[in-house]
Chain A
Amino acid sequence: MEILNALALLANFVVVPATAYGAQLALGALGVTLIFGILRFANFSHGELMSFGTMAVILFTWVLQGQGVIIHPLPTALLALPVGILVAIVLSLTTDRLVFRFYRRKRANPIIFAIVSVGVMFVYAGLVRIVIGPDDQSFADGARFIITAREFKELSGLAEGIAIKQTQVVTIAVAVAVVAAMFWFLQKTRSGKAMRAYSDNEDLALLSGIDPDRVVMIAWIITAALATIAGTLYSLDKIYKPFIFLQILLPIFAATIVGGIGQPVGAILGGFVVAYSEVMLTYAYKKFLAYLGPSGWAPDSLVQLLSTDYKFAVSFIILVVVLLVRPTGIIRGKVIG
């Protein structure tokens, strides 16, 4: 019983939140890895693209909520998601046309692209501040919990409950669906195969008659969709905070590099590695150990390896260690440099 309680505690505070967070990071990292695979640069504007897409979702969610169009128990934001994706796609394609295409024609060095994307990031961030402002926005509705801690306790008879939030289940369900759709596209369709071919060997793709402009366009469309979905799920799960999207770049880039740059499967693995590391290293194990130790005993300290204030340091450490030990990432990807 004590062991079960310990496991329930761990599931509630580590497994469930880390899985949802991992899914959000994976979706974000997929977009970064895709742009790296096709356009061959580290896209720093990805975080703010997530923010912009999410902002569009929020605005349309408010419209829908105002009209009384809701899909209880699911969040209304799911209905607004396609509109947000569309807005993000238009923004990405416009940016590519106005900014990135210029440097592509000049065959600019990848580092120039990366710096340019930093500029794009600031522009996106500015647009978001102008439209929706710098404040936090709450837009989650629908049922809050699938199962509350108390319900779980009553059902199982354990002292510890496992609460599962609706947003966590929605996150994982949507992430699974999106990832499945994306892999089907990349593996089975002609356009998807052309994208993999282009990413693999640009010159040979040209010799085979694959149109680079089309490949780039599809890459931005998918990236914008992934970014909007990732941002919306993250904001539903926590809250929409415009400032968070600069910080979230770090775990997303860490996930991309851990998994192997340019490798979609790696991005997903990387997302979960980073999320689990972050949550596990910042969780206080005092109660967990108390359940496992002799009854009546408890550790004196919190047994917390890192304060939650330092959670971004975890991504940073992972990033440095991976780059030192295995720069190609888990699944052999490209090496920047």
Chain B
Amino acid sequence: MKFLSAINMTGGYGGADIIHSCDITVEKGEIAVVVGPNGAGKSTAMKAIFGMLDLSEGTVTLDGKDITHMAPQDRVPIGMAFVPQNRNVFVSLTVEENLEMGAFIREDDISETMEQVYELFPMLKEKRNQPAGELSGGQRQQVAVGRALMTKPKLLMLDEPTAGVSPIVMDDLFDRILEIARTGIAILMVEQNARHALEIADHGFVMVQGENRYTDTGKALLANPEVRRSFLGG
């Protein structure tokens, strides 16, 4: 059993099911990437794993513990952190206040974690007293990831962290994500930039119409001619 195992997930937002018997797993220190065409249910699968969606079937376990029916906010204290795709920073709060709010549930000294985030994203330290809403798209994503790291999560979930940022910023962000994974955190992310994401991924899940189509290591998926033809543009 992997650190996070979401097995046989089926569900939607009340109406028709959006994901069907979907499996997503990730091990500590690894990066798992979910790719697929628009509307494949990638983000929905992420939300299901974080409990923001009722599952009619399937189980989600973290570290062997069944959390299928746990409320999203209760998943934060047990080590899960989620960075949504949109509205993922407090725009009117400063960068530093964003990080502080990320650590809201912690009672201990957060200054060390904050220093680690600033080491990871030196730009944020420079802009610590600026409102997050005044930052560029890439810097905002850094704030969003930094905020999520403040709880010292064991599993970091990122929903399209590179949406709308320039290629250079994207490279840099992927490097940082690799760095975070090296500290032993499990990372699960949904990505539009499939090729690039699979290059850094240990495992990849290709989803189509709410189902797993291909599941393999990142390298194998990149080498698979069918995957290349259908999802990576040749």
**B-contacting residues of A (Cβ < 8 Å)?**
190, 193-194, 196-197, 199-201, 203-210
Alpha-carbon separation in the docked complex, A204 to B89 (Å): 7
Q: Which residues of chain B have C-beta atoms less than 8 A from A204's C-beta?
A: 84, 87-90, 147
Query: Which of B76, B81, B100 makes the CB contact (< 8 A) with A193?
Result: B100
- Give the distance to chain A from B149, nearest Cβ to Cβ, in Å: 12
Instruction: Check B76 against A208 for contact (C-beta < 8 Å).
Output: yes
- Assuming A204-B88, A207-B72, what are 9 further A-B pairs, CB within 8 angstroms? A196-B97, A197-B90, A199-B92, A201-B87, A201-B90, A201-B91, A206-B73, A208-B147, A209-B105
6 interchain pairs, CB-CB under 8 A:
A196-B92, A200-B92, A201-B89, A204-B88, A204-B90, A204-B147
**Residue in chain A with minimal CB distance to B132:** A200
**Interface range for B:** 20 to 34
Contact bitstring B82-100, A, C-beta under 8 A = 1, else 0: 1010011111110001001
Q: Is B151 an interface residue (CB 8 A)?
A: yes
Alpha-carbon separation in the docked complex, A209 to B79 (Å): 12
Q: Which residues of chain A have C-beta atoms less than 8 A from B87's C-beta?
A: 201, 203-204
- Give the distance to chain A from B47, nearest Cβ to Cβ, in Å: 11
**Residue in chain B with minimal CB distance to A209:** B105
- Give the distance to chain A from B110, nearest Cβ to Cβ, in Å: 11
Q: Which residues of chain A have C-beta atoms less than 8 A from B81's C-beta?
A: 207
Instruction: Check B73 against A209 for contact (C-beta < 8 Å).
Output: yes
- Which residues of B90-117 are within 8 A (CB) of A? 90-93, 97, 100-102, 104-105
- Give the distance to chain A from B157, nearest Cβ to Cβ, in Å: 10
Q: Which residues of chain A have C-beta atoms less than 8 A from B147's C-beta?
A: 204, 208
Instruction: Check B77 against A209 for contact (C-beta < 8 Å).
Output: yes
Instruction: Check A206 against B72 for contact (C-beta < 8 Å).
Output: yes
- Give the distance to chain B from A40, nearest Cβ to Cβ, in Å: 15
- Give the distance to chain A from B109, nearest Cβ to Cβ, in Å: 13
Q: Which residues of chain B have C-beta atoms less than 8 A from A197's C-beta?
A: 90, 93, 97, 101, 104
Contact bitstring B152-190, A, C-beta under 8 A = 1, else 0: 000000000000000000000000000000000000000
- Give the distance to chain B from A104, nearest Cβ to Cβ, in Å: 16
**4 nearest CB pairs, A to B:** A209-B105, A200-B90, A209-B76, A197-B101
Q: Which of A194, A197, A210 has the most C-beta atoms of chain B within 10 angstroms of its own C-beta?
A: A197
Q: Which residues of chain B have C-beta atoms less than 8 A from A208's C-beta?
A: 76, 101-102, 104-105, 147
**Residue in chain B with minimal CB distance to A211:** B73
Q: Which residues of chain B have C-beta atoms less than 8 A from A201's C-beta?
A: 87, 89-91
